[in-house]
Chains A and B, each alone.
Chain A
Amino acid sequence: MTRWSLRGTRSFRLRIALLSVVVSGVLLAAFGGWTWIVFQRMNLRRIDDEIRQLGHRHLSANQGPEHWERVEESLQFFLGEKEEDAFLLLVKGRDNVVLHRSANWPEDLPPESFPAPSDTDEYMRVQPPPLRDGGPPEPPPPDPAQSAGEGRSDFDRAPPPPQPQPPPGRRAPPSARDHYRPREDRAGLLPLPGQPPPAPVHLRAPEFSTRNAGGQSWRMGVLGNPNVTLALAFSMSRFDADMVQVRRAFLLAIPVALVLIAVGGWLISQRALHPIKALTRAAETITAKGLDQRIPAEKEAIEFTRLTTVFNEMLDRLEKSFNQAVRFSADAAHELKTPLTILQGRLEQAIQEAQPDSDQQRVCSQLLAEVQRLKAIIRKLLLLSLADAGQLKLNRQPLNLTETLQAVCEDAEVLAPHLTVEKKLTPDVWIHADAHLIRQVVQNLTQNAVKFNRPGGSVKFWLKEKRGAVRFTVANTGPGIPPEDRGRIFERFYRADKARSRRIDGVGLGLSLSREIVRAHHGEIRLEDTPDGITAFSMTLPATKA
């Protein structure tokens, strides 16, 4: 089973952490962008409202140039002295006459670009904004024009005393009259309380735009009545600075949040995967040999309780089918063995009873050989099925492997007098093993080495003991195993040479059974990498002290 590693995207934990970062990153970015846009719109609308209100107020009636001077000064005061370019004001009368123009009006914004009032324009009837109720905390000194008569419109008011024109580029200090107006009372430019609501006026629909002029950006509103066009612009620099700060806050906060989310996701997934880890660990210990084991129920989370239950149920079925398979092969073997016993016993008896050198005796002998072959196949299948179920039991005894191999080498010499047999066997190598089964492995390897040799070839045997391991190698000359088959030779019913080996070995079970036997001994059997024309198998087993 795959371990929870950090390598690549294979780690589920890493993926969970990354996914949470990506998802929350997108969400945060979307939220930030949306907030930013809303914030910007709100600000612009606020500025627009201010422009509209101011414009409407002062357009309610026709007023002379002095009035606009006054408006400029009061605006200058309210927006703060430090703000050199806090606002712009341009007033045009009919026939393109500039009635007023702020001293700081930028050159690249020609007054001609603003439409002069004309009769062809469409005007709408507008009720000027209502008068303010809560007046300033310090009431303004009585205005002579105001006290002169109630019910008169602004237009009818006497113009204020003319004020000296400020030098270009510099503004005149705010007048004492403006001084006591509270700062927040920008709308204080509205008519003072106590006046009757002004009569509806005809105004052009205001047009708002953001313009770049004189090295900064402006929010400009163009309003007008049939007599005057008023262009009023507030500087966006403060507003832009606000937006920059908001953006900076977002740019700083989002990465920090993402890092925190990544760490959080990592930790949470660790916590979440803990039961999976426990499950994995438990499952790893359950092999074919320990199918009766179960994973302890996970009590903390209901999802994992279910997983554990399902897993254990699967183990139940697995154990059942394993046991069934084992029992089946044991039963099958038993069922086959009884008729074989009869067959073998009868044949044996017939051979003894038959006339010496008779046909009957020879036939019975041949049949007995076939019975022996059947027995060998059944035995191999039974051993393999036991090995599959992890039930291959070993009758371990001390075994002198050198002696066993000497006998096998002797057989090889007898079997193949045409071959050169070489042996290098370390004397008195003892192992703790099932003698019967290990002998079978060794014989299988030896027989293969003789069987798949070439005429005049050779067979070599080595037995070495090294660092707690016993290693037996048998190498032979011959056509060898084709590279495409090298990975398959330990498979069941595999034959290197299909046509040839059928006659020789019955079924291709020898090598796969050998591997199971060696594995059951905690050893390893493998095909060595050798040059062409040589095949070598080696068997490595744990050594024991003599």
Chain B
Amino acid sequence: MKVLVVEDEKQVAAFIRKGLEEQGFCVEVTHDGDEAYALATTQQYDVVVLDIMLPGRDGLSILKNLRKQRNAVPVILLTARAELDERIEGLNLGADDYLTKPFYVEELIARLHALARRASGTQLSVLQVGDLVVNLITREVKRGDHTIRLTAREFGLLEYLMRSPGRVYTRTQIIEHVWGYDFDPETNLVDVYIQRLRKKMAAAGQQPLIETVRGVGYRCTKL
């Protein structure tokens, strides 16, 4: 999958490139708005990751002109401003998704996957690791033939870890994603929930699927 990343902050662009390349994306990076517009109109990309504040042409005007030329390439906007207006304006102009800075690369990867799925028409509503199957639509969790009953929080936690098996998530990241920004990160909330989740899953299967990364956090075993 070929991705154009338009981001004027070189360091941000650098870790985006690195994170995406690790996941097997083919990444092209530009720091300038005019250059980005030239590239987007001449080359074929599967997704464009577009920062709004850019030297030269700004992100929104690039997007506007692309859509004017009936260029339907999926676009994910990056914005530092959390104001609703800008998001809505971006979405109205034809953006497919947006991410507010600071964002985790992992989140960007998940959105890119989702966009690619939408573009290819395959709606992937099921996550699977080994014999653990999670249906995101019906919110049904099965291990083999056993149905596991999870609370809303447990489900959210499991879904988050299963999105990128093998990737390490810190407690902070987990809290921020599953509980929201402002939850106190110095609680043992994550650990308690992980224990509960393990207990419920252990009753249904042998293999422990959630690994502890000592002093850091957790990850889902990559099989």
In the complex, which of the residues A333, A379, A414 has the most CB atoms of chain B within 10 Å of its own CB atom?
Answer: A414
CB of B215 within 8 A of CB of A361, answer yes
CB nearest neighbor in B for A446: B183
Cβ-defined partner of A348 (8 Å) among B83, B85, B104, B182: B104
C-alpha gap A169/B77 in the complex (Å): 125
91-130 of chain B: CB within 8 A of chain A: 101-106
Q: How far is the CA of A406 from the CA of B152 in the complex (A)?
A: 9
With A330-B81, A439-B180, A443-B179 given, is the CB distance from A348 to B105 under 8 Å? Answer: yes
Q: Is the CB of A440 within 8 A of B181?
A: yes
CB-CB under 8 A for A345 and B19, given A340-B102, A362-B215 = yes
Do the beta carbons of B168 and A447 come within 8 Å of each other?
no
Tell me the minimal C-beta distance from B40 to chain A in angstroms.
Answer: 22
Whether the Cβ atoms of A365 and B216 lie closer than 8 Å is: yes
Residues of A within 8 A of B151 (CB): 407, 410
Check B186 for interface membership: any CB of A closer than 8 A: yes
- Complex-state Cα separation, A437 to B213, whole angstroms: 32
Residue from the list A334, A361, A411, A447 in contact with B81, Cβ < 8 A: A334
Instruction: Answer whether A415 and B168 are a contact pair too, CB < 8 Å, given A407-B152, A443-B183.
Output: no
Contact A411:B189 (CB < 8 A) given known A349-B15, A351-B168, A376-B181:
yes
Interface string of A413-445 (1 = CB under 8 A from B): 011000000000000000000001001100110
Q: Within the complex, what minimum Cβ distance (angstroms) separates A493 from chain B? A: 16
B99, chain A: closest CB distance, angstroms? 10
Determine if A373 and B185 form an interchain contact, defined as CB atoms under 8 angstroms apart. Answer: yes
- Smallest beta-carbon distance B49→chain A, Å: 13
Asked if A338 CB lies within 8 Å of chain B CBs, one says yes
Considering only CB atoms and an 8 Å cut-off, how many residues of chain A contact the other chain?
Answer: 54
Cα separation A373 to B175 with both chains bound (whole Å): 12
Instruction: Give chain A residues whose Cβ lies under 8 Å from the Cβ of B167.
Output: 352
* A43-B193 Cα distance, complex, nearest whole Å: 111
Asked if B172 and A346 sit within 8 Å, CB to CB, the answer is no
| Residues from chain B with Cβ under 8 Å of A369 in the complex | 170-172, 185-186
Cα A345 to Cα B173 with chains together (Å)? 12
Cβ contacts under 8 Å, A368 to chain B: 170, 172-173
Most buried by B among A337, A348, A444: A348
The reply to whether the CB of A356 lies closer than 8 angstroms to some CB of chain B is yes
Is B140 part of the binding interface, using a Cβ–Cβ cutoff of 8 Å? no
- A326 to chain B: closest residue by CB: B83
A 464-515 contacts with B by CB, 8 A: 503-505, 510
- In this assembly, does A341 line the interface, its C-beta being within 8 Å of a C-beta of chain B? yes
Asked if residues B213 and A356 are in contact (CB atoms below 8 Å), the reply is: yes
A371 within 8 A of B: yes
Looking across the interface, which residue of chain B has its beta carbon closest to that of A361? B216
Roughly how many angstroms separate A348 CA and B172 CA in the complex, as a whole number?
Answer: 11
Produce 1/0 per residue, B198-223, CB < 8 A to A.
00000000000000011111000000
- Chain A residues contacting B173 (CB-CB under 8 Å) are 348, 368, 372
Contact A345 B12 (CB under 8 A): yes
- Check B182–A440 contact: CB distance below 8 A: yes
Which among A334, A349, A436 is the interface contact of B80 at CB below 8 angstroms? A334
When distances are taken between beta carbons in the complex, the residues of chain B under 8 Å from A351 are 168, 170, 216
Q: Which of B156-204 contact A (CB under 8 A)?
A: 167-168, 170-173, 175-176, 179-189, 192-193
Bound-state CA distance A533–B56 (Å) is 61
Given contacts A330-B83, A345-B19, A443-B179, contact A340 B185 (CB under 8 A): no
A330: B residues at CB distance < 8 A: 81, 83
Q: Categorize the interface residue count of chain B.
A: 35 or more
Is B89's beta carbon under 8 Å from chain A?
no
State whether A415 touches B189 (Cβ < 8 A): yes
User: Distance in Å from the Cβ of A418 to the closest Cβ of chain B?
Assistant: 12
> B149 to chain A: which residues have CB within 8 Å?
none
A141 to B32, CA, bound (A): 135
**CA–CA, A341 and B102, complex, Å:** 4
Complex contact B193–A346 (CB within 8 A)? no
Given the known interface contacts A365-B216, A372-B176, A376-B181, the answer about A337 and B101 at a Cβ–Cβ threshold of 8 Å is yes
Docked-complex contact B81 and A504, CB < 8 angstroms: no
B42 at the A interface (CB under 8 A): no
- The answer to whether B171 touches A342 (Cβ under 8 A) is no
Residue from the list A349, A365, A504 in contact with B184, Cβ < 8 A:
A504
B215 touches which of A349, A365, A372 (Cβ 8 Å)? A365
Question: With A and B bound together, what is the CA distance between A330 and B82 in angstroms?
Answer: 8
Instruction: List, in ascending order, chain A residues with CB within 8 A of B181's CB.
Output: 372, 375-376, 379, 440
**Which 5 A-B residue pairings sit nearest by Cβ, starting from the closest?**
A345-B15, A362-B215, A341-B102, A393-B84, A334-B80
- What are 18 A-B interface contacts by the 8 Å CB criterion? A333-B82, A342-B11, A344-B104, A345-B102, A345-B104, A345-B105, A346-B11, A351-B170, A352-B22, A356-B213, A362-B215, A365-B215, A393-B84, A414-B193, A415-B189, A436-B180, A443-B183, A504-B184
Residue ranges of A at the interface with B (Cβ–Cβ < 8 Å): 330, 333-334, 337-338, 340-346, 348-349, 351-352, 356-357, 361-362, 364-365, 368-369, 371-373, 375-376, 379-380, 382, 386, 391, 393-395, 403, 406-407, 410-411, 414-415, 436, 439-440, 443-444, 447, 503-505, 510
Residues of B within 8 A of A (CB): 9, 11-12, 15-16, 18-19, 22, 53, 80-85, 101-106, 151-153, 167-168, 170-173, 175-176, 179-189, 192-193, 213-217
Known: A364-B216, A369-B171, A369-B185. 16 other contacts (CB 8 A): A330-B83, A333-B82, A337-B101, A341-B80, A345-B11, A349-B19, A352-B167, A365-B216, A372-B181, A379-B82, A380-B182, A395-B84, A407-B151, A440-B182, A444-B182, A447-B183
